[in-house]
Amino acid sequence: MMKVRSLFILVFLLIGILACQSTKNNFTDKKTNAQKFSIAIHGGAGDMKKEWMSDSLQEAYKAKLTEAIQAGHEILAKEGTAIEAVQAAINILEDSPLFNAGKGAVLNHLEKPELDASIMEGKTLNAGAVAGVSKIKNPIDLAIEVMNNSGHVMLAGAGAEQFAVEQGFELVPESYFITENRLKAVRAAKKSHSAVLSDEIINKMGTVGCVALDRYGNLAAGTSTGGINNKRYGRIGDSPIIGAGTYANNKTCAVSSTGAGEYYIRGTVAYDMSALMEYAGLSVQEAAEKVIHEKQPQLGGSGGLIAMDNKGRISMEFNTSGMFRASMDEEGNLEVKIFK
Confidence class of residue 48 from pLDDT cuts 50, 70 and 90?
Answer: confident
Instruction: Provide the domain count of the chain.
Output: 1
- CA distance to 53, 241, 256, per residue, from 202 (Å): 9, 24, 20
pLDDT of 236 higher than 90 = yes
Determine, yes or no, domain membership for 24. no
Residue 133's domain is classified under what CATH number?
3.60.20.30
Query: Which residues, at least 6 apart from 33, have a Cβ–Cβ distance to it below 8 Å?
Result: 217
pLDDT of residue 93: 98
- CA distance to 42, 76, 147, per residue, from 332 (Å): 18, 11, 30
**Tens digits of residue pLDDT in 85-118:** 999 999 999 999 999 999 999 999 999 999 999 9
Determine, yes or no, domain membership for 26. no
What's the mean per-residue pLDDT of the chain?
A: 90
Active site residue 207: yes
pLDDT of residue 27: 36
Return the bridge partners of 122, or none.
Answer: none
Q: How many whole angstroms separate alpha carbon 69 and alpha carbon 75?
A: 10
Average pLDDT over residues 168-174: 98
Determine, yes or no, domain membership for 89. yes
Q: Which amino acid is at 42?
A: H
- Residue 72: domain span: 38-45+54-330
Determine, yes or no, domain membership for 151. yes
Determine, yes or no, domain membership for 27. no
Q: How many whole angstroms separate alpha carbon 309 and alpha carbon 198?
A: 35
Determine, yes or no, domain membership for 31. no
Helix ranges (DSSP H) in the chain: 2-35, 55-77, 82-94, 139-149, 157-166, 180-191, 261-266, 269-279, 284-290, 296-299
Average pLDDT over residues 158-186: 97
pLDDT of residue 295: 98
Q: How many whole angstroms separate alpha carbon 286 and alpha carbon 338?
A: 22
Determine, yes or no, domain membership for 201. yes
Query: Of 66, 124, 207, 223, which one is the catalytic site residue?
Result: 207
Q: How crowded is residue 82: how many other Cβ atoms within 10 Å of its Cβ?
A: 33
The lowest-confidence range among 18-27, 49-58, 177-186, 319-328 is 18-27
Determine, yes or no, domain membership for 290. yes
Confidence class of residue 152 from pLDDT cuts 50, 70 and 90?
Answer: very high
Q: How many whole angstroms separate alpha carbon 48 and alpha carbon 28?
A: 47
